[in-house]
Amino acid sequence: MTSTEFTTLDGSSTAAFIPAPASPYQGDIARYWDAEARPVNLKLGDVDGLYHHHYGIGEIDHAALGDVQDSAYEKKLIAELHRLESAQADVLLHHLGSIGRDDTLVDAGCGRGGSMVMAHQRFGAKVEGVTLSAKQADFANRRAAELGIDDHVRARVCNMLDMPFETGQAAGSWNNESSMYVDLEDLFAEHSRVLAVGGRYVTITGCWNPRYGQPSKWVSQINAHFECNIHSRREYLKAMADNRLVPQAVIDLTPDTLPYWELRATSSLVTGIEEAFINSYKDGSFQYVLIAADRV
């Protein structure tokens, strides 16, 4: 087990332990997210205390934005981007289906915990999150404590390919833009293990379009920016079939996410990757997809 240093929210320094078994690549990813502090991930969460690490879907509410010359325009733009982020998480949670208060849900790659909070608020269920980043887990657990839901919402530092849950424990599980950091066969084998028979798995992810032929230059830029390995849509469906996960819905969200990116590209929160997302969505080489599958 290895460690690196990161600074916590209160300014102190602590060791971030990378959980075994982890490959050298996963160690790099843990260090990447421990060091990450992009304003786009923090300022949007500051709007209402839900901190996400994913993108948004839906039409822009131009009435809410108002006049671009207004001194409050940028603040309104950030609030609108965040509304679209939460709308995306809401769509994912909707596709989990019927979840009871006594059920357990698993967020694989939980980030700073926004989707976990929303899941508990929606279903009343227990939500367990896993992340390689000790910094993210600490943030998510502090936020759950502040909301008084830490008895139902918890993040822990561990490998999503070797989760500390009993076989068949979860009624539902998901990856929200986190599956591009792992091998899909290994990932879906683990989700299949922790899900009860009849349980529901949902992912929203960017994937390259097999009809394009190969990953485009834009997809390669996204991979390099996030140090990830984007899979094709075909790979998702094959790996699910290999691991007793039967798709019930496959939805192309690409047209729904493009407005988010076009709005973000006009904001003060640009990171330099916006052009690659916009161009790859428009030329068809990259897709934003939701897949909901049942464990059989």
Domain ranges of the chain: 24-158+168-295
What is the CATH number assigned to the segment(s) 24-158+168-295?
A: 3.40.50.150
Beta-carbon contacts of residue 235 (< 8 Å; ≥ 6 apart): 184, 207
Beta-carbon contacts of residue 130 (< 8 Å; ≥ 6 apart): 106, 107, 108, 109, 110, 155, 156, 157, 158, 159, 160, 163
Give 245-283 pLDDT, tens digit per residue: 999 999 999 999 999 999 999 999 999 999 999 999 999
Residue 26 in tokens: 């996963």
Residue 219: band (very low, low, confident or very high) from pLDDT cuts 50, 70, 90: very high
Q: What is the mean pLDDT of the chain?
A: 92
- Where does residue 57 rank: exposed (0-12), middle (13-18), buried (19+ CB within 10 A)? buried
Q: What would the DSSP string read from start to end of the chain?
A: -EEEEEE-TTS-EEEEEEPSS--HHHHHHHHHHHH---HHHHTTGGGTS---SS---S---HHHH--TTSTTHHHHHHHHHHHHHHHHHHHHHHTT----TT-EEEEET-TTSHHHHHHHHHH--EEEEEES-HHHHHHHHHHHHHHT-TTTEEEEE--TTS-SS-TT-EEEEEEES-GGGS-HHHHHHHHHHHEEEEEEEEEEEEEE-GGGSS--HHHHHHHHHHT--PPBHHHHHHHHHHTTEEEEEEEE-HHHHHHHHHHHTTSTT--S-HHHHHHHHHHTSEEEEEEEEEE-
Give 103-147 pLDDT, tens digit per residue: 999 999 999 999 999 999 999 999 999 999 999 999 999 999 999
Residue 19: band (very low, low, confident or very high) from pLDDT cuts 50, 70, 90: low
pTM of the model: 0.92
What is the number of residues in the chain? Answer: 296
Residue 26: band (very low, low, confident or very high) from pLDDT cuts 50, 70, 90: confident
pLDDT score recorded for residue 13: 35
Give 182-203 pLDDT, tens digit per residue: 999 999 999 999 999 999 999 9
Distance in angstroms (rounded) separating the CA atoms of residues 129 and 119: 11
